Structure 1
Amino acid sequence: MHLNLEPRSHRISNSKKSKKMRLTNPGAIIASLFFLACLPIVSVIGIEYLERGSLHDTIHWLMSYKRLFLLNVGLSFCLLLFIQAIVGSLAISGAISTLLLGLMALISYMKVKMIGEPFFPWDILLNKESMDIASLVTGKAAMIRIVSIIVVIAVVFLLRWVLPRWKMPIVMRVAMGLFALYALYAFSVKTPMAGKVLDRAGVNEIVWDQQQNYTNNGLALAFTLNVKNSIVQKPDTYSDHAIATVAANLQQSNQQEAKLASNGLINGKKPNVIFIMSEAFWDPTLLTNVKFSEDPLPTIHQLQKESTSGYLLSPQFGGGTSNVEFEVLTGDSMSFLPGGSIPYQQYVNKPVPSLASYFADQGYKSMGIHSYEGWFWDRNTVYKQLGFESFKSSEYFENPEVKGYFISDAEVSRNIIKEVDNTDNPMFIYTVTMQNHGPYDDPRYGKNNFEATGPLSAQAKSILETYTQGAHDADQSLKMLIDHYQNSDEPTMIVFYGDHLPMLGLDYQVYKEAGFIQSSNPNEWTLDEVKKMHSIPLVTWSNFDMPKQQIPLLSDSFLGAHVLDMLHMEKPANFALDAQLANQVPGLLSNLVVDSNQELHAKVPDASKALVDDYRNVQYDMLFGKQYMAEYLDHDYLTKTAQASYNAEFGGDGTEAKRAGESESTPEAKPVSAQ
């Protein structure tokens, strides 16, 4: 046995000397730099593989877009440098940057699988709405990704016992951190210098098709470039003069229409106007090669024969309900906003003119009803800004019936009836249901009464039958309302439609197996397939005479104007412009335009560009601009403030309910990520 008889003070001194030598050893510095250089390369390859789901696709992208790959590596390197400047430890900084990039890739992968959209910078602001995907991350592919991320993070973290402890001077750390932060900032806002780098690298921002944008440019670069899209850029054609020209044209048109308007009176009474946006409602009998044991939507199919009906063109698929509300209520279009943006969370932070404020001006009580928690998508505060008098969310339903995971559609119909009966004034109600929210991969309703037959796998068959049972319940809840108001002496109009097609399995499983679409990659869809995957049934009913109309296709943003025309009510400026544009371009998405002849285009036809520019300018004017339009038309409506007594009947502005909702979710409900 060897005894170390060296004095302890000498041993400590030698230990410090050894550590000091390690810190100043050129080999240690080289090893550290090698780590800093290699980790970003490995990280970018890893996150692209995680998001794309194919090693072949990842390698193909790397070889085809070498410069874009290097830009992604550079951004990952800057992130690592910035964290290193804060933390100081190479291994810990590497583990943190790997965690952040891995989570970004995982969330993007799941979003694409669920609703066809990647991870956007503004998703970070969505809190529980977007980030609560735990209940959906149960598949084998997702679990493999999660485990892979954990393993890589653990390996990087364990390197702290292998890597040299290179203590960087504080001045160098500050300089390094500022450099990294500025580089990330420069690419986020696209400074002139960053713009030159991007141009030389061949970067092509495809903001109108974000999935293609991420596929081409890579996750880190596309995500970073989207930061600037959180702020909507002013249109080149926007000016006081441009808005004045639009106002003059609208004023002339309105004078002619005012002669025909009857102020919406039915036998001297103003009718109740009830909008019902049924969660994920669609007609499953439209699926190619699929038959059902019996008709799941008898009410809808009867109304399609007897009343005004047709199809709405939704800006969403599988999620993003609030964006459809935004289009219908405001008459504005998502096609002019960054792909994947959420106006309720990003832009509606001041009073915005809407159907709710318009009907309030006409002597109506404007109420929002939603059978989920009021904090979701910030509806508590947004509905106030949109001019509603009150908002009845699930917190204010008394002992509601629950079917599946959520409050039933039948319960929503009962609450509509209750609110109309308890209100003396005519009512404008905007209703959003929740019962048939996805996922549909378990038989939540017990036995399904509608058997689907066709070229479907067992899993796809189960998903479709569960969804169809919920769609049938929505159909029957509409029948309940019709039966009630059929003999009512209160004139009432009901407008019923869905917000988007349902997500029937990952990668559009049911649609693909049924032959409704040919590819699970939206980038490969034909214009006709894009149209089909965004077309939602619309039906109307009233207990007073109304001419039957057939609506081949109409964007959600034009629905409000159409309903006002059906009621012979004068339209305010923004909805009047909607009606004009709908005559030329009834369907308007960022990647699909449908003209008055129902011909499909990938972009706006030249003949309609001027009017579409007017529409874009007016939308910008009301949401972000100087409100020039209010100087020429409808000043009181366009500048109306929120109702001072908003939600007084339900205890104020909903702040307390929001706090409760954030700390305690509905017991029966599963976490929701796309409502």
Structure 2
Amino acid sequence: MKRILEHPAMRRALGWAAALAFVVVWYLVAQAAIDVFLGVKLAPVAFQRDLIAHLLLGAALYAIAASLPRFLLATTALFSALTFGNALKIAILGGPLMPDDFIAARNMFMLLDGWQWVGAALMVAIPALLLWWMIAWRRPTTWMTFGLIGTLVGLLLAFPEPVRLELDQNFGHSVWNQRGNYDHRGLPLHLLQEGVRSRARRESAPSARQVTAALEQLGTAPITPLVKVAATDRPKRNLHMIVLESFWDPMQLTASELSADPFDPEFRALWAAAGHSHGLAPVFGGYTANTEFEILCGFPVERDHVFFEGGLRRDVPCLPRHLGEIGYRSIASHPNAASFWNRVNAYHRVGFDLYWSDADFERDDMNRNFLSDSSLYRQILDRIGPELQGPTPIFNYVLTYFGHLPYPLNDQRPPVITAAEGHETVAAFANTMYYKSRELMDFLRELRTLDPDAVIVLFGDHLPALGPNFGGHRESGLLAPNRSEFTDEMFRTLVATPIVLIDGRRGVLDVGELPFYALPGLLLQVLGDDRPSIMSWTAPSADHRLAIRPLPGMHFISDGATVTACRDPQALDERTAAQTEACRNSTAWLDAIRILNRDLFAGSQHALRQLPPTPGIRSAARASADHHASEPVAHPEQRADQSSI
């Protein structure tokens, strides 16, 4: 018996058996752990296919492993990092890992410090080092395995569309419910399926004919502006845009039983005067850069990726550049690392003249690694205050950082709001809003005194993440634990944040429900700037107050009273004729906007050459379009200068 066990073939067979048995045991323990601790659980139909996928991955790893002990250590580290990282993303943001997350992972480290940064770094470094240590580099079969894997990857890259179709047919796909996709696939299959989809959907830039057709679809008739300003009022007033990190009304969280209203009463009154207007964001709980793109460029983001990272590849006449053509000086301020979400390049491409980032601010009032809003506001006013009544109009763009998860406070900001037991995250968020709203109103009083005629708009960038599986929101009945269980109204709740627009001495305006991509066009209306612009194509109209909010794989329509979610096409048959028609019309509008989006931000910019010229103004945008007409599209390179663009 001993001889049989010592035979090389038997030893190899036992090694394989032990390796695969270990994968099974690890898998069962890991799935139980993410269920118990994070509330993430696969659908029953997915267990078998997910286990098989893990076994196949385990077999590939063992085929190149130098020994069984090294395989056990490396596989544990790699599988655990992916599984628990995915579960954490689902618990916090409501969706699973996607291929773009691996590209954007560098940015996540910039949000962390202390033990969190160390933990995240170890989650990446330990699996990578153990994998390197595990591989039997000098064994010929290892290189044969690498060759086989390389061939399979090459085939996937060369023929992604047939692979995608086959995977979708066998394992299903929901265009709007990525959490549901993961639940029915498991992580390895989900990443494979979405990876080939990402590869297959790479679209070529639209032709001039397609762009013309898209513009015709939008219609050429002039809209009736939501805000009408006489041409005599065009003298250039300053514009202040204040983007407030996770700014949202905590009093909606009724189950948390907050001890007091966190919002400053003065802000409550201001927001009430604005008719409790809401902005509709493209994201929940994070990815602020997508909100930024919309409010600066006037086009919606509807895919689960960061548009600043790969979608913005051209210099475009977004709000800063458009205003710059008539003499505005545009300044962006954000006390985070300059390169986070590719902001150095993105801000340059949309036309900012200056970008003040973390290195440009004194870190004199920190809530952990987040500069307080009061310090940020004070330092900005110290710089621009003397210029507010000068001859050069200013576009002052402020993106705050205080208010970010996990909502830390320093000793100068003791907690004053309590919440029900078990609602500690909500209590932390409520106390953050207590100070954030008061620091905002202090700044707003000073700003309006210094610049009474300015146009000022302030709003939250997205809803706060308050716990696993929409925790905090879920307990109060605002959201369901899974997007597949959302009602139509919940999709609106998911993205609606307070917005206040102040039209100088005229006071506060009621803008109703405003998708953030419609904000730049509205601001141009308020400023009395009726020059042709790309932002006019999505500007709100007084004739049609219907809000269309695209989200990944779907969109919803809101008229202020009712919400209609347009999900999968087959779901249209289950709706009333009016709802079906509304979904079809809004889908056609979005199709046209998508073509213009690809043309303007990553294509040949045919649309710019179809904008009517403005007499007396040389358009840098049109010159850029002519320059790009024959230029190949390339990803932007990182710029070295972080403070001046």
Q: Structure 1 residue aligned with 2:296, among 316, 325, 329? A: 329
Determine the C-alpha separation between the residues in 2 that align with 1:258 and 1:219: 46
Segment of structure 1 superposing worse, 484-493 or 185-194: 185-194
Structure 1: which amino acid aligns with 2:150?
L
Q: Contact 1:354–1:387 at 8 Å: present in 2 too? A: yes
SS in 2 for 1:304: helix
Gaps of 5+ in 1: 1-17, 643-652, 659-675
Report whether the alignment pairs 1:540 with 2:508.
no
Note if 1:174 corresponds to 2:143.
yes
- Of 179, 189, 203, the match for 2:171: 203
CA deviations on 1:40-83 (whole Å, 9 max, x unpaired) are 5556555544544489986x74x5236733662365247526xx
* Alpha carbons of structure 1 residues 613 and 440: separation in structure 2 relative to 1, 3 Å: same
Aligned counterparts of 1:57 and 1:469: Cα–Cα separation in 2: 29
- Is the CA contact 1:285–1:291 (under 8 Å) kept in the aligned structure 2? yes
* Deviation of the 1:416 alpha carbon: 3.3
The residue matched to 2:341 in structure 1 has which SS? helix
1:655 aligns with 2:640: yes
Q: In 2 relative to 1, CA 207–101 (structure 1 residues): closer, same or farther, beyond 3 Å?
A: farther
Going from structure 1 to structure 2, the CA distance change for 1:90 and 1:205 (only over 3 Å counts) comes to farther
Residues 1:281 and 2:266 aligned together: no
Q: Contact 1:71–1:221 (CA<8 Å) still a contact in 2?
A: no
Q: CA deviation at 1:526?
A: 2.0
Q: Which residue of 2 aligns with 1:625?
A: 603
Alpha-carbon separation, structure 2, partners of 1:259 and 1:563? 9
Residue of structure 2 aligned with 1:76, choices 57, 64, 87: 57
How far apart in 1 are the matches of 2:104 and 2:40?
A: 30
Q: What SS does the corresponding residue of 1:418 show, helix, strand or coil?
A: helix
> Residues 257-305 of structure 1: CA distance to partner in whole angstroms, max 9, x if unpaired?
7997656x64x63111111011111111222253543563223222123
Q: Which has the larger radius of gyration?
A: 1
Indicate how the Cα distance of structure 1 residues 191 and 109 shifts in structure 2: closer, same or farther if over 3 A, else same. same
CA distance in 1, matches of 2:330, 2:99: 34
CA drift of 1:394 comes to 2.2
Q: How far off is 1:640 after superposition?
A: 6.2
Specify the SS of the correspondent of 1:217: coil
Instruction: Determine the structure 2 residue equivalent to 1:578.
Output: 538
- Deviation of the 1:134 alpha carbon: 6.9
User: Which stretch has the larger CA shift, 215-224 or 419-428?
Assistant: 419-428
Mapped to 2, the partners of 1:278 and 1:224 lie a distance apart of 36
Look up the SS of the partner of 2:471 in the other structure. Answer: helix
Structure-2 change in CA distance of 1:286 and 1:411 (3 Å)? same
Residues 290 and 308, structure 2, Cα contact 8 Å, conserved in 1: yes
Distance 1:358 1:47, change over 3 A: farther
TM-aligned CA distance change 1:592 to 1:421, over 3 Å: same
Distance verdict in 2 for CA 1:622–1:45, change over 3 Å: farther
Q: Which residue of 2 aligns with 1:395?
A: 359
Matched, 1:345 2:330: no
SS of residue matched to 2:456: strand
Q: Which residue of 1 aligns with 2:579?
A: none
2:529 alignment partner, one of 561, 564, 569: 569
In structure 2, relative to structure 1, the CA distance for the partners of 1:192 and 1:654 (3 Å cut) is: closer
- The unaligned stretches of length 5 or more in structure 2 are 568-582, 614-618, 626-637
Which residue matches 2:482? 521
SS of 1:594's equivalent in the other structure is strand
Aligned to 2:556: 593
Deviation of 1:33 (Å): 3.9
Matches within 5 A, 1:179-194: 179-184=148-153, 186=155, 191=160, 194=163
* Contact residue 312 and residue 554 of structure 1 kept, 8 A: yes
- Give the SS at the match of 2:472: helix
Q: Which residue of 2 aligns with 1:475?
A: 437
* Corresponding position of 1:242: 210
- Cα 1:249–1:361, aligned 2, differ >3 Å: closer, same or farther? farther
Shifted more, 290-299 versus 234-243: the winner is 234-243
Aligned residue for 2:97, secondary structure, equals coil
Supply the distance in 1 between the matched residues of 2:158 and 2:561 (Cα, whole angstroms): 39
More deviation, 556-565/567-576: 567-576
Separation of aligned partners in 2, 1:80 and 1:625: 41
Tell whether 2:191 aligns with 1:223: yes
Q: Look up the match of 1:5.
A: none
Structure 2 distance, partners of 1:180, 1:254, is: 57
Distance 1:441 1:382, change over 3 A: closer
Deviation at residue 613 of structure 1 after TM alignment:
1.1
* Displacement after TM superposition at 1:593 (Å): 0.3
Write the mapping of 1:483-498 to structure 2, written as runs, cut at 5 A: 483-488=445-450, 491-498=453-460
Deviations 1:467-502 (A, max 9, x none): 223223332233233322434466211101011112
- For 2:227 and 2:243, locate their aligned partners in 1 and report how far apart those are by CA, in whole Å: 32
Number of corresponding residues: 597
CA deviations over 1:98-153 (Å, ceiling 9, x no partner): 42222111211222222223222222233443247876988xxxx9xx99x999x9
Which residue identity is paired with 2:353?
Answer: E
Distance 1:176 1:654, change over 3 A: closer
Higher mean C-alpha displacement, 321-330 vs 518-527: 518-527
Secondary structure of 1:544's partner?
A: helix
Structure 2 counterpart of 1:105, from 65, 83, 101: 83
Partner deviation per Cα, 1:446-467 (whole Å, 9 max, x = no partner):
5323445xxx21x41x433432
- Quickly say closer, same or farther: Cα 1:98–1:464, change in 2 above 3 A: closer
**Residues 1:612 and 2:573 are matched in the alignment:** no
- 1:538 Cα deviation from its structure 2 partner: 0.4
The verdict on how the C-alpha distance between 1:305 and 1:595 changes in structure 2, with shifts beyond 3 A counting, is closer
* Larger deviation, residues 370-379 vs 573-582: 573-582
> Alpha carbon RMSD of aligned pairs, Å?
4.2
Q: Which residue of 1 aligns with 2:337?
A: 373
Match of 1:298 among 248, 265, 283: 265
- How many angstroms apart in 1 are the aligned matches of 2:180 and 2:113? 27
Normalised TM-score (structure 1): 0.76
Give the 3 Å change call, closer, same or farther, for CA 95–181 of structure 1 in structure 2.
farther
Q: Which one of 496, 514, 517 corresponds to residue 554 of structure 1?
A: 514
Per-residue displacement from partner, 1:143-190 (whole Å, max 9, x unpaired)?
Answer: 9xx99x999x99x999x9xxxx999962x4333222223334555776
**2:453, 2:412 → 1: CA distance?**
35
Between the aligned partners of 1:580 and 1:249, the Cα distance in structure 2 is 17
User: Residue 118 in 1 paired to residue 96 in 2?
Assistant: yes
The residue identity in structure 2 corresponding to 1:468 is A
Partner of 2:505: helix, strand, or coil?
Answer: coil
User: Are 1:78 and 1:180, in contact at CA under 8 Å, matched by a contact in 2?
Assistant: no
Secondary structure of the corresponding residue to residue 509 of structure 1 = coil
**What is residue 602 of structure 1 aligned with on the other side?**
565
CA offset at residue 391 of structure 1?
Answer: 0.5
Please state how far the C-alpha of 1:386 moved relative to its aligned partner.
Answer: 1.8
1:436 correspondence with 2:403: yes
- In structure 2, the residue matched to 1:65 is 46
Partner of 2:184, secondary structure, is helix
**CA 1:449/1:22 → structure 2, altered by over 3 Å: closer, same or farther?**
closer
Q: Please list, as runs of the form range in 1=range in 2, the aligned pairs for 1:498-509 lying within 5 A after superposition.
A: 498-509=460-471
* Per-residue CA distance 1:364-419 (angstroms, 9 max, x = gap): 11110112221222222221122110101121124643356422111222233233
Q: Secondary structure at the match of 1:322?
A: helix
Q: Deviations over 1:405-452 (max 9, x none)?
A: 422111222233233324341111221111222213778655323445
